[in-house]
Amino acid sequence: MSAAELTLYSLASALFFYFLFTFLNRNRKTLPPGPRPWPVVGNLPHMGAMPHQGLAALARKYGPLMHLRLGYVHVVVAASASTAAQFLKTHDANFSSRPPNSGAKHMAYNYQDLVFAPYGPRWRMLRKICSVHLFSTKALDDFRHVRQEEVGILTRALAGAGEKAVQLGQLLNVCTTNALARVMLGRKVFHDGAEKGDPKADEFKEMVVELMVLAGVFNIGDFVPALEWLDLQGVATKMKKLHKRFDTFIGDILEEHKAKVGHRGGDSHGHTDLLTTLISLKDDCDGEGSKLTDTEIKALLLDLFTAGTDTSSSTTEWAIAELLRHPKVLAKVQLELDSVVGRDRLVNESDLTQLTYFQAVIKETFRLHPSTPLSLPRMAAESCEINGYYIPKNTTLLVNVWAIARDPEAWVEPLEFHPERFLPGGERPNADVKGNDFEVIPFGAGRRICAGMSLGLRMVQLLTATLVHAFDWKLANGLAAETLSMEEAYGLTLQRKEPLVVHPQPRLPPRAYI
């Protein structure tokens, strides 16, 4: 059979199963409202170029609980805080696994990572390892010095940049990656400095951004299995090529580390790095009774290197951009920092809890610019009822975090950057971003909440506070702050479409940067 005949056969099969699927489902219980699907591809064309924005627009028409059919797959979208709470709190256990998708298959070692692993014993084992050895309060406190040292290195590099404009996001990414690498591997992976960059760091950021873009694509093959082999969008091919690059990067790190395990047990402060711990757990697996394989170790490192670095750096970049656009807010933050920290030293993590107004700024940044605007998909283990509507078994759930945080029913002037809303007397004075208040859930909520939330919060707060305290900022090329573009780029994570290019101007005495 020729390629053309195979293609025609696939299309004919897809049409047959579409009409069969439609016939079998026409007398089912009442599904949530939603736009009428197209033949074969369903509602995929309704997603738009920016799915979180497209779905938000659809929710304004069809309501906060919406049903779509992507190919043959039932999909429900939650676009309000109360609806999200139904899925992620009341019915959390039923929606704790992930649906099949090409990203997990081709890039995340065929579902062997933490992010996409099916809900069950292996996922719990991986989650426990990260929670105990990397994200626990003790682990975070033990490696506080690493984060402060790496932020200090970034600060000195920026202070020495002179009149040179810098692309802030790239430098932030180097800082967050090196800080995480020192905890994970006991060493840095990139060179530092604003004057001379590291080509490997540039390549790594490009790889991470490409991964997030590919992971955010709604791949037709995931929803119309008969068309999967055609790879109509070329997504699977790109994923496989990118996976090889990441596998080489991570595999080299793992093999090098194995060779050194017998010669180095910890860092200069006496702490053992995560990879050494993972290698030591290969036969014991932290008491869980099953072995941890090399592939699972590499998959875990992939999650941490991607989800744990660029999300923090991009959120910090959004925060600085918002403060540049709101000079009165920036002045208030600097005044508070000068009062609490003084002007003779840089910010320490121990200062952060005393910075009330600054904490409100960080919450407002997470509200307007959640690092994952459209939640990673979950899947219904069993049929259930939500708000009077029938949700079939195996339905995919998407929570539109971006839309919830901009819901005019929940927020006053939701599109405005207004940190005072989180202060006493504001509309949400006691709200947090840790999954308890569903109006603002940048890290998700429930069992599959972001495992690295605590580290992400500390890193974003420390980076942003240090940059605001240590520098005044001017936009490159004489650009006026009010004209700064805040347009978003497409992807699983919320990147700026135009990188923030700035001139850092030291505002503290020279001795503070030493």
DSSP assignment string, 369-386: S-SSSBPPPEE-SS-EEE
Contact status, residue 89 vs residue 378, Cβ threshold 8 Å: no
**DSSP alpha helix (H) spans, 230-349:** 235-260, 274-280, 294-307, 310-325, 327-341
Amino acid at residue number 128: K
The DSSP code for 426 is S
- Give the integer Cα–Cα distance in Å for 56 and 51: 8
CA 325 to chain centre: 24
Calculate ∠ Cα 278-282-286, nearest 5°.
70
What is the C-alpha to C-alpha distance for residues 346 and 300, in angstroms, rounded to an integer?
Answer: 33
What is the CB neighbour count within 10 angstroms for residue 109?
Answer: 24
Q: Under DSSP, is residue 445 helix (H, G, I), strand (E, B) or coil?
A: coil
Q: Please indicate if the annotation marks 175 as binding a ligand.
A: no
CA distances from 78 to 34, 60, 67, 83, 186 (A): 12, 12, 9, 6, 41
Tokens representing 386 are 């939500």
- Cβ-proximal residues to 434 (8 Å cutoff; 6+ apart), any chain: 443, 453, 457
Pick the closest to residue 159 from 507, 406, 399 (CA basis). 507
CA distance 318 to 461: 12
CB 400 within 8 A of CB 341: no
DSSP 8-state symbol, 90: I
C-alpha span between 372 and 215 (Å, rounded): 11
Contact 76, 67 (CB under 8 A): yes
Kindly give, in sequence order, each residue whose CB lies less than 8 Å from that of residue 312, ignoring residues fewer than 6 positions away: 172, 176, 371, 456, 459, 460, 463
Binding residues: 450
Q: Which residues are annotated as part of the binding site for heme? A: 450
